[in-house]
Amino acid sequence: MNRRNFLRTSALGAALAVTPISFSAFGSATRKTVKSGRMRLSFEPYELKLKHAFNLAKNQRTTTPGVQVRIDLDGITGYGEASMPPYLGENVESVMSFLSKVDLSQFADPFRVKDIHEYIESIAPNNRAAKASVDIALHDVLGKIMNQPWYKIWGLNPDKAPNTSYTISYNADPKEQAAEIAECEPFKIVKVKMGLGHDKELVNALRAQSDVRICVDANQGWSNKEEALEMCHWLAERNCAFVEQPMPKEMIEETAWLRERSPLPLIADEFLQRLPDVRRAAEAYDGINIKLMKSTGLHEAHQMAELARALGMKVMLGCMTETSCAVTAAAQLSPMVDWADLDGNLLISNDIFDGIKIVDGKVTIPDRPGIGVKPLA
């Protein structure tokens, strides 16, 4: 048995867990409250407004639906969030319906994380963003009880947090495109959204203004493996670090073919959702992109990062368009990863939390207990 196969068969595969949380509302008429003994779970919709339209291979959008969650337990408040871009298959109604079924009164001890996660998982399949919102708020409560941020609880060194990329996409208006590129100046790496048929045009526009290193997210937009290989070689000559989800997630054999020939690492995004997917990704990709809204939160995301490392894979930590609540929660894991794409809060105009800071392009994790955020209002 070679080393790669040994690692695949011996790496850990822990079970998922979820914890209790309580929530206070943000003052909306649509706010709901679920009483659970000493815990109160509340949630309300909150639409995120993008500073620039997101032009992706499969769609365009200017907003992202979301649900803000809060847990109050014995005077401690934990904050969580669900963000639902279209491809996740969730929406405000499905998330609020799921959360309405959550009854945490059976858990007197919020540290029964495994039991709580098993219970949350049993309520309904899928609903990953909804489950993540509970998990994030629970971690916030537990960290505040322990009076420590999660990166310290996990024994991580915040100095090892990587630079984060900043995301741009194609814009047909040259002036708007130039303005969007100019916003990238403080960052050491820029993430370029591709797969729209203007891929080289966008990179050339960026290169006309900057020689900053790039990474590429094709968003499943390349369906021809030979053309994808040609693009990988072209990008490698233009200071590109890696290519994320180059081909449709169903094209596993074609992606494996591409990986064998590509000069750049290939990172799984849409292909990868939860812990069981990590081993499958190792067959066709060099690394994985972990996002809390896919992994059902911090608990499983931490397991995924550890398993990927055991399999010898690269690890990227990403996000959706989210407030600083979910992005800062994800940042607690950032010292574990090779690359970070934690700019979701920077892409919206209506953030409601103070949390993660980007200093000279680098992820800087707040030293506050829990997930490290506080409401702006």
Q: Domain-by-domain residue ranges, the chain?
A: 32-147, 152-375
Kindly give the confidence (pLDDT) of every residue in the chain, 377 residues in length, as a single tens digit, with 9 standing for 90 and above.
443 443 344 343 333 233 333 333 333 444 455 444 478 899 999 999 999 887 665 567 899 999 999 998 999 999 999 999 887 899 999 999 999 999 887 888 899 999 999 999 999 999 999 999 999 999 999 999 999 999 999 999 999 999 999 999 888 888 989 999 999 999 999 999 998 888 999 999 999 999 999 999 999 999 999 999 999 999 999 999 999 999 999 999 999 999 999 999 999 999 999 999 999 999 999 999 999 999 999 999 999 999 999 999 999 999 999 999 999 999 999 999 999 999 999 999 999 999 999 999 999 999 999 999 999 98
> In this structure, are strands 189-193 and 165-168 parallel, antiparallel, or unpaired?
parallel
* Per-residue pLDDT at 102: 96
How far is residue 209 from each of residues 121, 169, 177, 206, 354, measured CA to CA in Å?
48, 15, 11, 5, 31
Report yes or no: 139 and 329 within 8 Å, Cβ to Cβ.
yes
Kindly state the tokens that stand for 238.
């233009």
- The residue length of the chain stands at 377
Comparing 32-147 with 152-375, is the CATH topology the same? Answer: no
Helix, strand, coil share of the chain (percent; to 5): 35, 25, 40
Instruction: Give the integer Cα–Cα distance in Å for 94 and 362.
Output: 35
Going along the chain, which residue ranges are E strands?
32-36, 39-45, 48-55, 60-64, 66-73, 76-83, 165-168, 189-193, 213-217, 240-244, 266-268, 287-290, 314-317, 339-340, 353-354, 357-359, 362-364, 374-375
Level-2 CATH architecture, domain 152-375: Alpha-Beta Barrel (3.20)
Element (H, E) at 128: helix 128-146
* Per-residue pLDDT at 111: 93
Kindly state the tokens that stand for 269.
């995004």
The one-letter code for the residue type at 4 is R
* Per-residue pLDDT at 156: 98
DSSP 3-state assignment of 110? coil
Q: What are phi and psi of 311, to 5 degrees?
A: -85, 0
Q: Dihedral through CA 144, CA 145, CA 146, CA 147, nearest 10?
A: 40
Level-2 CATH architecture, domain 32-147: 2-Layer Sandwich (3.30)
